[in-house]
Amino acid sequence: MSDLSHVKTDLRHLIELPAEKRIKICRHDIWIDTPRLKPLMNCLNHMIYTENQIQASSIFIHGEGGDGKSALFQRLQALGHLSGKKMVFITLTENINRYKLHDAICEQFHVQIGKRTTAANRIDIILKKIESGEIGAIVIDELSDAMLEGNVNKKVILSLVRSLAEGKLKLCVIAFGNSVALEAIALDRVLDRRFVQWELQKWSLDQDFVDFIATYETHLPLKFASNVSSPKLRTLIYSNSHGILDNIVKILKCTAMDAIEQGAERIHQDQFHNIDALAVKYGFKIHHPGKPKQK
């Protein structure tokens, strides 16, 4: 067995597992702290403080597909709190029943929706649960799906989002979405004024990127060091990923899986001759912005 200093100490035992199990481990999603998200996390920690304020702060974190919104949402879920305040999490995904934000909030707080409970009563119940549970923020994922509603319903949803941060509830609203939701928020002057709009940018070929992929390598159960942060490999990973986080992770996953299956046990530059086909082999799709769709 080679020197295993390229793998995290608490993960080195995984190297002894059969190849099939190690290939599956490479598919696991992991969270890696990166300095590029520190300003955003600092912002969120400040925003959740609401004492002696008429309304709570709100933020809309947006970007296009593959920029890490889902990973950040899951990270906040794993943390469960910011600045000592608990967070409530709601995921809005379109389904055949047109799942409503209002219903999702009530369900999250275990408030029954029926003829016997008026909107005011529901708010009072939620308020009591917020106060007793020291809840400081509501985190909404996939707000863009709610924006697929008709104009009338869309206005109702936006009004509800606005009301969460003011009045009795005074919850810090942390919402995630894409350009569809961004345009909808921009049309509501009050929301546009109150929401901090934070765009998740693509990665640059900088030290943050190098540190990220180098740290990611320490989580991969490969027998030999790949040195993905070396000039050649980091350039190949970056150029083929277009700086999109989802692509970066998929490339690291599929090349590691292939390295185990082929017996090389390290990521190497020959794997990048047809990285798209290699990704498909292991069930991944690398997105190429601006590339025409095949008919």
Lowest mean pLDDT among 33-42, 43-52, 279-288: 43-52
* pLDDT top residue among 56 and 257: 257
Instruction: Tell me which fold the domain 35-199 belongs to.
Output: Rossmann fold (3.40.50)
Confidence of residue 212 (pLDDT cuts 50, 70, 90): very high
What proportion of the chain, given as a percentage, has pLDDT over 70?
Answer: 85
More confident residue, 50 or 214: 214
Type of residue numbered 151: N
Residue 98 pLDDT > 50, yes or no? no
- Summarize pLDDT for 146-159 with one digit per residue, the tens: 666 666 666 666 77
Provide the residue ranges of all domains of the chain, joining segments of one domain with +.
35-199, 203-289
For residue 166, give the nearest of 186, 138, 144, 140 by alpha carbon.
138
Summarised one tens digit per residue, pLDDT across range 112-145 is: 766 566 666 777 777 777 777 778 888 988 776 6
10 DSSP assignment: G
Burial 52-78 (b: 16+ CB within 10 A, else e): eeebbbbbbbbbeebbbbbbbbeebee
The span from the CA of 30 to the CA of 68, in Å, is 12
The larger pLDDT score, comparing residue 134 to residue 37, is at 37
Integer angstrom CA distances of residue 93 from 96, 142, 172, 231: 10, 6, 21, 41
User: Which alpha helices (DSSP H) does the chain contain, by range?
Assistant: 19-26, 38-47, 69-79, 101-108, 119-132, 143-146, 151-164, 179-187, 189-194, 207-217, 231-241, 245-262, 275-281
